[in-house]
Chain A
């Protein structure tokens, strides 16, 4: 596609439910990143994919968070047993090559997650 696509745009769910967030990177981009942005804050790195492997999961805040990627395309971020502190905007980005850090990252519009 023309840009990074994320769905849903907004998600409201009850505490304790599981949620899945989806990211479609730019076609041909091998690297994919997930970030979390709490209200009024900067972005926090969650996880990086190179192809379908995840060399760095260091930003995942707890074992309730997991992510997977199919080949060099779609990625899903899953949050199990959601808590109110999980409320944030979750942003996905992709870049052409992950191993060269000067490649610009292109961001999607994010998913705003609200936990009631």
Chain B
């Protein structure tokens, strides 16, 4: 069974600084996708960034980027130039790839606090 582990229950960062959230996963599959979701107090899960396992290049979306280490099964999220609106719970998630339905497996989450 696939598992996703986020070892940092809480992280904090100063506004405009950079922070990295950690995620490791365990799978025997070779084809899969990894995601970071953001959950603000409104509860809605918002997709931040996605990484295809077959791609060596790390995904980037504006101030958000990942460090994908497939051999180490590590998938960290870097937030640059942190903003107050980045404060939220962040979840790392995994989906098996191919023509199989998308049952997401989530980590336990990391609460990110941004200090002005």
Q: Tell me, yes or no, whether A105 is within 8 Å of chain B by CB.
A: yes
Q: Do residues B102 and A43 form an inter-chain contact, with CB atoms below 8 A?
A: no
- Nearest CB to that of B45 among chain A residues? A107
Q: Do residues A42 and B106 form an inter-chain contact, with CB atoms below 8 A?
A: yes
Count of B interface residues, CB-CB < 8 Å: 28
Looking at the complex, which of B14-22, B59-67, B73-81, B89-97 is the stretch in contact with chain A? B89-97
Q: How far is the CA of A67 from the CA of B95 in the complex (A)?
A: 23
What is the size category of the interface that chain A forms with chain B?
20 to 34
**B residues apposed to A, CB below 8 Å:** 4, 33, 35, 37, 42-47, 50, 52, 91, 95-109
**A residues apposed to B, CB below 8 Å:** 31, 33, 35, 40-45, 48, 50, 55-56, 59, 89, 91, 93, 95, 98-110, 112
